[in-house]
Amino acid sequence: MAEEIVPHAEPIPQTGEAEWFPPVEDDNEAQLAALGHRRRGFFFGPGGLKWGWAVALFLTAATLFITAGILLLLKVHVLHAGGTHTVQPWSSSWVEAAQYSGVLLASLLLAWIERRRVGRYGLGTPVGRLGQIAVGAVWGLAMLSALVGVLWKTGVLVFSAPLLHGSDAVRWGAVWLLAFVGTALFEETGFRGALQFTLTRGLASVLGGKRTLVHRKTLGFWLGAVLLALLFGGLHLQNKGEAATGAVAAALIGLVFSFSLWRTGSLWWAVGFHAVWDWAESFLFGVSDSGTVALHTMLHGQPQGNALLSGGTVGPEGSVWVFPVIALSAVVVALTLPSQAGSPSDAAYQPEA
């Protein structure tokens, strides 16, 4: 029996921003021989932990960590079992913190096993990326405001007078922003972090054929992005009050966030956009978000007439008007986020296997 070699992932540069693109896992023995490797064993390949095992490990670890966090919150009576269509900002903040902590710990575990920096999953330090977060936040507010503005101007959404004033508005606005930053961190890290990285290298490995390595990685990235967007949209259907239109919209906005990762190699623009979109929807305009109504909001929006136009109980994301806004968001990414060195879209980057 051939002696197995201790597995090592692709070396990580110690200076500058690490390239996002992962090494391709390829268990084809001819390919391994050409790369000067022997067979690596049942769990590991030349790109680190084999991608199927990596996906299973991440999902299992994230589920266990999140469950433990939620149970702890219940134990200390921060949360209470059961729920309604309305959410409180502080309880929402605690839940999102537990969920983000779970996926972050799972990402750290996977990075440790594969001997990579967790920043390779699009989670590099936000220092130096604050501009991306801020710009994403501005565009998130602009796109959600445009959607709500269309619904208001066409008469399918009406608003109450302001419900909060002065210090109350500032206080509850800050608490809700904290909650939705947690939501954005959890969902972007969970759906477009380690899973996107791992699916890219795994799908690139099975494409093979006469495709170049860059072509395989490009296809692997976008196939993975589509799969995760479908999962993202499908899971939204589990929300009480969600509908098919809202689930499709969630899947499509997930692709826009993947597009921002493609251009920058980072999740931070998407985190800023996602957090402020949700904040404006729930707190600023006081409309439903995937069927959920927030408490302590600045305004209260009430849908009128045809649900396909107003969004009905789903909220603005359930309106057909959301689709041109999502398309416009993709255009914004294309025009305002140039390809960055080391990102998946960097044409000059010629990664090695």
What band does 56 get if pLDDT is binned at 50, 70 and 90?
very high
Mean pLDDT estimate for the chain: 83
Nearest-5° Cα angle at 159, 294 to 173: 40
Which carries the bigger pLDDT value, residue 316 or residue 217? 316
CB atoms under 10 Å from CB of 327, counted, come to: 12
Is the per-residue pLDDT at 194 higher than 60? yes
The alpha carbon of residue 324 and the mean position of all alpha carbons in its chain are separated, in whole angstroms, by 21
Is the per-residue pLDDT at 20 higher than 50? yes
Sign for the pseudo-dihedral over CA of 149, 276, 235, 51: positive
Is the per-residue pLDDT at 34 higher than 80? no
What band does 346 get if pLDDT is binned at 50, 70 and 90?
confident
Sign for the pseudo-dihedral over CA of 257, 263, 267, 273: negative
Expressed in percent and rounded to 5, the helix, strand and coil fractions of the chain are 60, 5, 35
* pLDDT for 207: 80
Helix residue spans in the chain (DSSP H): 29-34, 51-75, 89-114, 130-153, 166-192, 194-207, 213-236, 244-264, 268-279, 307-310, 322-336
254-267: buried (b, 16+ CB within 10 Å) or exposed (e) per residue? bbbbbbbbbbbbbb
Tell me if 211 sits within 8 A of 191, measured CB to CB: no
Nearest-5° Cα angle at 216, 336 to 118: 65
**How far, CA to CA in Å, does 275 sit from each of 96, 127, 130, 187, 241?**
12, 18, 14, 10, 21
Is the per-residue pLDDT at 157 higher than 90? yes
Is the per-residue pLDDT at 9 higher than 50? no
Report the percent of the chain where pLDDT is more than 70: 81
Tell me if 46 sits within 8 A of 23, measured CB to CB: yes
At 150, list the tokens: 């269309």
Give the model confidence (pLDDT) of 285-301 as tens digits.
999 988 788 889 999 99
Q: Rounded to whole angstroms, how far apart are CA atoms 186 and 96?
A: 7
Beta strand 301-303 with 86-87: parallel, antiparallel or unpaired? unpaired
At 206, list the tokens: 């099975």
Mean pLDDT, residues 66-87: 76
* pLDDT for 4: 40
* pLDDT for 74: 87
Tell me if 153 sits within 8 A of 290, measured CB to CB: no
* pLDDT for 127: 55
159 DSSP β-pair partners: 301
* pLDDT for 80: 61
Mean pLDDT, residues 296-312: 93
